[in-house]
Amino acid sequence: MFFLVTDNFEEVLKQSSLHPKPSGLVLEYGTSGFRTNAKHLDHIMFRMGILAALRSQKTKATIGVMVTASHNPEEDNGVKLIDPMGEMVTPAWEGYATQLANAEQEDLLAALKDIIEKESINVSLEANVFVGKDTRSSSARLSQAVLDGVKALGGHSKDYGLVTTPQLHYMVCCQNTQGKYGAATVEGYYSKLSQAFSQLTKNASNRTDDQKHLCVDGANGIGALKVREMEGHLKNDLQMSIFNDGSKGTLNLHCGADFVKVQQKPPTGVPSVGNGDWGQPVAVVEENGLSRSIEINPGDRCCSFDGDADRIVYYYTDSQGHFHLLDGDKIATLICTFLKELLNQAALDLKVAVVQTAYANGSSTRYLEDVMKVIIKCTKTGVKHLHHAAQEFDIGVYFEANGHGTVLFSKAAEEKIQQLAEDGSISGERKKAALLLQSTISVINQTVGDAISDMLLIEAILAIKGMTVQQWDTIYTDLPNRQLKVKVADRRVIDTTDAERRAVSPAGLQDAIDSLVKKYRQARSFVRPSGTEDVVRVYAEADTQEGADALAHEVSLAVYRLAGGVGDEPQPLH
């Protein structure tokens, strides 16, 4: 086999010398692929092009490669591989990615040969790779390096250029299902989602313009560009004011979903949200060459995307100027409530489950379990774990508190809904519910969390239920919580179990956490090593903010003392 492709491998060697690896640099394919300062990534991109071509030969399907560093600062970049159905690549291939990335120049062929042999890949097969990139200034040259890698192995590539991460996941899935999931074009994506949205919202025909209005913070990234492209397709069904559209601000700087969730405050660049300057025309936006003043009032709905538009959070400010965040947990609850109501009306017996992580606010879990009576599953942090768990149910709603999530329908569930929607013998409320479920499936991007698709689903639900953002917010009240980080010499000394909710090492840490938690009411706390930063993360919640802050601090101290903290001891927050 090796003999047959000698030419290709000569080409790989020749080309790889144009994308040299800085010697000694070691990077790991983590939960979100490779991610670091863009200046270290050229060889990684070239090699991921090669690896994607091999994965394509192995799976006999199209593979995706997305160049983005999501919510990281503009100077960073990253890359993620997308498997045939739009999922993340398997753990074994994450390992190959790390292996290939770290091989010194002279060991590259041996590293490739090793993967080919281990996976019995027929390298004479065709390889097809879809490539996409975000708006970072380094993304153009880095995505070219990916294309070079695919070409060096003799593979075919399609460059989608600027797309959101979930759009590329969608394209890959469409391509590998021969169009059954939709057309593998950006245009196809817009028309599928906007048609579904229009079908959903026609059930809420008496919406006022105010109710149709949504303020969108695009994080100065790709999401802003793409939601603007989609605007025309949405006609009058949704009126968006798009801020942080990349025309002046910096990507992710003091804006976007990650900033809003972590800082628990409004983004900059969305004029006056949260500064109490209500009732004034606060922004002038250019639309179709015309200037329009926009007023943002208390209670107006706002949402923020992250830098590659796979995360979304909502928020509003009340008449006292207080900021209210509706995170992934609130989104999951809204979607779950809506789906349960429709399934009831349609008299369909399908099991709905909600998949969360340890970060889910305790109030959301309690509400979903006690009031909604849905199955709750808790997984480790990281999209792939949630996605995998959600696949086990008829309908699996999964969301991380940070706003990454979507809904998965099993094939059988989709078929049942489809049959009912087409059943000529039913009518009235049951028929209407079946049709709404059918459109709900179409508006959702099931391949991965998608800010644009989630936004349309949320907007449709609020419209259909005639619900304001405040009413949505009061479904349950979040328990006050605090997240802190602790620097330790080696964060791998922390080992966890029970979906990261309990620490098994170092010795004594969990006992210390248990006794600290007992001092507070409605309290909970856990620690875990971060997968993306060299720190240990601490989470605490309690019945008051003071309690949550004090507990988080005390647990941080326990981590510092028992897990080899470095630098100054953590100080109390107040």
Binding residues for substrate: 400-402, 528-532, 537
CB under 5 to 8 A by kind: which of ligand 16G, Mg ion, none does 381 bind?
ligand 16G
Of 234, 513, 475, 232, nearest to 336 (Cα)?
475
User: Taking CB under 6 A as the rule, does residue 32 contact ligand 16G?
Assistant: yes
Asked whether position 391 contacts ligand 16G by CB under 6 A, the answer is no
Looking at beta carbons only, is 404 or 491 nearer to Mg ion?
404
> Beta 524-529 vs 502-505: how paired, if at all?
unpaired
Stretch that binds ligand 16G, among 101-109, 150-158, 254-262, 531-539 (CB under 6 A): 531-539
Q: Cα dihedral angle (352, 358, 363, 369), rounded to 10 degrees? A: 30
CB of 377 to ligand 16G, least distance (A): 16
- Work out whether 530 is an interface residue with ligand 16G (CB under 6 A): yes
Q: CB of 98: closest distance to ligand 16G in angstroms?
A: 16
For Mg ion, the binding residues (CB under 5 A) are: 70, 306, 308, 310
Asked if 311 touches ligand 16G (CB under 6 A), the answer is: no
Nearest by Cα to 81 from 113, 25, 34, 118 = 34
Q: Which does residue 308 bind out of ligand 16G, Mg ion, none, counting CB within 5 to 8 angstroms by kind?
A: Mg ion
CA-CA distance, 247 to 289, in Å (whole number)?
15
In sequence order, what are the residues at sequence separation of 6 or more whose Cβ sits closer than 8 angstroms to the Cβ of residue 559? 486, 488, 494, 509, 527, 536, 538, 565
Select the span of 52-60, 332-340, 368-376, 378-386 touching ligand 16G (CB under 6 A). 378-386
Q: Which residues are annotated as a binding site for Mg(2+)?
A: 70, 306, 308, 310
Judged by beta carbon, residue 310 or residue 478, the one nearer Mg ion is 310
Burial of residue 126 (CB within 10 Å: 0-12, 13-18, 19+) is exposed
Partner in contact with 530, chosen from ligand 16G, Mg ion, none, beta carbon below 5 to 8 Å by kind: ligand 16G
Q: Per CB under 6 A, does 31 bind ligand 16G?
A: yes
**Nearest alpha carbon to residue 538 among 506, 504, 500, 567:** 500
Q: Which does 186 bind (CB under 5 to 8 A by kind): ligand 16G, Mg ion, none?
A: none
Nearer to ligand 16G, 327 or 400 (CB): 400
CB-nearer residue toward ligand 16G: 136 or 192: 136
Stretch that binds ligand 16G, among 184-192, 233-241, 286-294, 379-387 (CB under 6 A): 379-387
CA distance 462 to 471: 10
- For the annotated catalytic residues, the residue numbers are 70
Which one of the spans 123-131, 138-146, 234-242, 526-534 is the region binding ligand 16G (CB under 6 A)? 526-534
Residue 343 to residue 320: CA distance in whole angstroms: 38
359 Cβ neighbours under 8 A, 6+ residues apart: 381, 400, 401, 402, 539
Q: Is the separation of the CB atoms in 52 and 81 below 8 Å? A: yes
Within positions 247 to 286, which residues make up the interface with ligand 16G, using CB under 6 A?
A: none
Distances in Å between the alpha carbon of 135 and those of 131, 221, 309, 312, 333? 14, 6, 11, 18, 32
Alpha helices, DSSP H, located in 160-243:
165-176, 186-201, 209-212, 222-231
Specify the DSSP class assigned to residue 480. P
Of residues 72 and 198, the one with the C-beta less far from ligand 16G = 72
> Residues interacting with ligand 16G, by CB under 6 A?
31-32, 381-383, 400, 402, 404, 530-533, 537
